[in-house]
Amino acid sequence: MSNFTVVETETLQQGITRLFGGDSTISESTPVAGGCINQGRRLRLSTGTTLFCKKNTLENEGMFLAEAQGLAALIGLCSRVAGPRVPEPVGLIQTAHNQYLLLEWIDTGRKTLRSTQEFAVALAALHSAVVTTDELPGSVPRAAADETVPIPEAGSPVRQYGFVGNNYIGSTPQINTWNTSWVDFFARHRLGYQLDLARRNGLTNSSMLTLADAVLQRLPELLPEPDHPSMLHGDLWSGNIMVDAHGSMVLIDPAVYLGHYEADLAMMELFGSPGPSFYEAYEHTAPLEPGYEDRRELYNLYHLLNHLNLFGGSYRGSVMRVLERFS
């Protein structure tokens, strides 16, 4: 994020002027539909530059800065391994009450069979890559639970799960404390955190908590430790994949962390399926491991719990079905 700038101003317009120069003004601002967490707008500047602007309140502190860090990490790794396209973060403007994330504007196009296959190959390349410290913004990782783990040297492989800071999954904080075990990381900072949040929100009962405890106890036998941590988009449902004017699929709105690549693939199937052509192309590059179809439900339990916390009791039945299956 060498060119990414954070400015604090009284208004969005003042921030635009500071980021792009004294002659830059907003000449056109058009709402963009599609988001349920943030407000999106297409900004046309007097200089001819077009930007995508995401707006949220300051209640979710650090949300957009964390997203920009995730985008930067994805851009760095994807450029090295021919991964999917990712929009470039341009700047962050903070006013007294709101935050605005500015991104490059990407014109949209139509998805084709070829674009689906090319995206599958690119995503497999991203998931297969060994992440190095050079691809992480900010500090290098160190497991909080084990201070004997040495700090990796610059350019060395990252062997831990998590990210350089916490971020958000929707509007829910996502905890990314480094951990040397994927299974323990997933138990603590994915399922465990969401379950505790649901309990505090009054969305659980004794039956759910008993089943959840049994599932957490079984996780070491249900989930494998991967060969290496993969950089994940983190919230990879169809609404967070767009198609640009050239037909290439683009990753947007990430919740980046290092984890098991199966967690990304599982999320792609939570509200539909990318289809057989996607999996044929993906597995040609990176074959799936046996048992993925069963583990998929466990990984999506994280997102079901998050939806329970975000949207309420309508997701309780889906959560209970997964807990009953794996308890």
How many beta carbons lie within 10 A of that of residue 251, not counting itself? 26
**Of 23, 134, 196, 235, which one is the catalytic site residue?**
235
d(CA 125, CA 81): 6
- 42 phi and psi, to 5 degrees? -95, 120
Q: Report the phi/psi class of residue 277: left, alpha or beta, with left for phi > 0 and alpha for psi in -120 to 50.
A: alpha
Residue pair 67/73 in contact (Cβ under 8 Å)? The answer is no
The CA distance from 288 to 108, in Å, is 31
| Segments in the chain forming alpha helices (H) | 12-20, 63-81, 113-128, 182-186, 193-200, 206-222, 261-268, 276-285, 292-311, 316-326
By the 8 A CB rule, do 3 and 19 touch? no
Angle at 34 between CA 31 and CA 39, to 5 degrees: 50
Closest C-alpha to 262, from 238, 217, 302, 226: 226
Instruction: Give the tokens for residue 272.
Output: 């539909």
Tokens of 98: 């709101």
235 tagged catalytic: yes
Q: Is the dihedral of CA 218, 219, 222, 225 positive or negative?
A: negative
Angle between helices 292-311 and 193-200 (to 10 degrees): 30
> 240: how many CB neighbours lie within 10 A of its CB?
17
Token pair for 146: 């084990």
Q: How far is CA 159 from CA 54, 149, 224, 233, in A?
A: 33, 10, 15, 18
Which helix (DSSP H) or strand (DSSP E) does residue 304 occupy? helix 292-311
Sorted by sequence, the CB contacts under 8 Å of residue 213 that are 6+ apart come out as: none
Give the catalytic positions in this structure.
235
